[in-house]
Amino acid sequence: MQYLGGKVRLAKELAAKIVEYIPFGGTYVEPFCGGCAVAIKVREYRPDVTIICNDLHPYLIALLRGVADGSFEPPDTLNETTWRYIKYNKDKNPALTGFAGFCCCFAGTYFHGYARGCHVGGHIRNYAKENARALKAAPLKTMSFVCGSFDDLTIPSGAVVYCDPPYKTGYQYSGVPPFDYPAYMRWVKELAKTHDVFMSEYESNVEPDVNIIWRKEYAGNARPGDHKTRPRRVDVLVKL
pLDDT at 33 over 80: yes
Q: Of 162, 131, 194, 187, give the one whose Cα is nearest residue 52.
A: 162
pLDDT at residue 82 in the model: 96
Domain ranges of the chain: 11-72+138-239
Second CATH level (architecture) for the domain 11-72+138-239: 3-Layer(aba) Sandwich (3.40)
pLDDT at residue 131 in the model: 93
Helix (H) or strand (E) holding 201: strand 196-202
What pTM, to 2 d.p., does this model score? 0.89
Confidence of residue 7 (pLDDT cuts 50, 70, 90): confident
pLDDT mean over 113-135:
80
Residue 48 has φ and ψ, to the nearest 5°, of: -80, -10
pLDDT at residue 127 in the model: 87
**Interval 181-239: pLDDT, tens:** 999 999 999 999 999 999 999 999 998 899 999 999 877 655 555 545 666 789 999 99
Q: Of 166, 31, 180, give the one whose Cα is nearest residue 109.
A: 166
Concatenated DSSP letters of 78-143 = --HHHHHHHHT-GGG-HHHHHIIIIITBGGG-TTSSB----EETTEE--HHHHHHHHHHHS-GGGE
